[in-house]
Amino acid sequence: MSLFVIADLHLPLGCNKPMDIFRGWDNYVDRLEKNWRRDVCDSDIVVIPGDISWAMKLEETEKDLAFINSLPGTKVIMKGNHDYWWNSVSKMEKFMSDRGYDSIKIVHNNCFKYGDIGICGTRGWINEKGQQADKKILLREAQRLSVSIECALKQELSPLVFLHYPPVYNSDRNEEILAVLKKYDIKVCFYGHIHGSGAKYAVNGEYDGIYYKLIASDYLQFAPLCIDEFVHSDNLNRQVWKL
Q: Which of 89, 98, 90, 91 is nearest to 69 (CA)?
A: 98
Domain that holds residue 12: 3-240
CATH number at residue 104: 3.60.21.10
pLDDT band at 241 (very low <50, low <70, confident <90, very high): very low
How many C-beta neighbours within 10 Å does residue 42 have? 10
Residue 236 has pLDDT above 60, yes or no: no
Contact 127, 136 (CB under 8 A): no
pLDDT band at 239 (very low <50, low <70, confident <90, very high): very low
For position 235, what pLDDT does the model report? 42
For position 112, what pLDDT does the model report? 98
Residue 240 has pLDDT above 50, yes or no: no
For position 129, what pLDDT does the model report? 58
Number of independent structural domains in the chain: 1
Tell which wins on pLDDT, 21 or 209. Answer: 209
Q: What angle (nearest 5°) sits at the alpha carbon of residue 68, between those of residues 65 and 70?
A: 110
150-191 tens-digit pLDDT: 999 999 999 999 999 999 998 888 999 999 999 999 999 999
SS3 of 43, please? Answer: coil
Q: Which of 104, 202, 111, 212 is nearest to 156 (CA)?
A: 111
For position 234, what pLDDT does the model report? 53
Mean pLDDT over each residue of the chain, to the nearest integer: 91
For position 13, what pLDDT does the model report? 93
pTM: 0.93
Per-residue buried b or exposed e for 80-111, using 16+ beta carbons within 10 Å of the residue's own CB: bebbebbeeeeebeebbeeeebebbbbbbebb
Judged by average pLDDT, the poorest of 119-128, 170-179, 197-206, 211-220 is 119-128
pLDDT band at 232 (very low <50, low <70, confident <90, very high): low
Share of the chain above pLDDT 90, in %: 81
Tell which wins on pLDDT, 135 or 103. Answer: 103
Q: What angle (nearest 5°) sits at the alpha carbon of residue 45, between those of residues 239 and 55?
A: 115
Q: For 44-53, what is the mean pLDDT?
A: 98
- Whole-angstrom CA distances from 228 to 12, 114, 153 are 30, 11, 21
Q: Which helix (H) or strand (E) holds 192?
A: none
For position 200, what pLDDT does the model report? 95
SS3 of 36, please? Answer: helix
72-118 tens-digit pLDDT: 999 999 999 999 999 999 999 999 999 999 999 999 999 999 999 99
Q: For 20-39, what is the mean pLDDT?
A: 92
The rounded radius of gyration (Å) of the Cα atoms in the chain is 17
Judging by beta carbons within 10 Å of its beta carbon (0-12, 13-18, 19+), is residue 135 exposed, middle or buried? middle
Q: For 129-155, what is the mean pLDDT?
A: 87
- What dihedral angle (degrees, nearest 10) is formed by the CA atoms of 113, 115, 118, 120? -70
Judged by average pLDDT, the poorest of 13-22, 139-148, 198-207 is 13-22
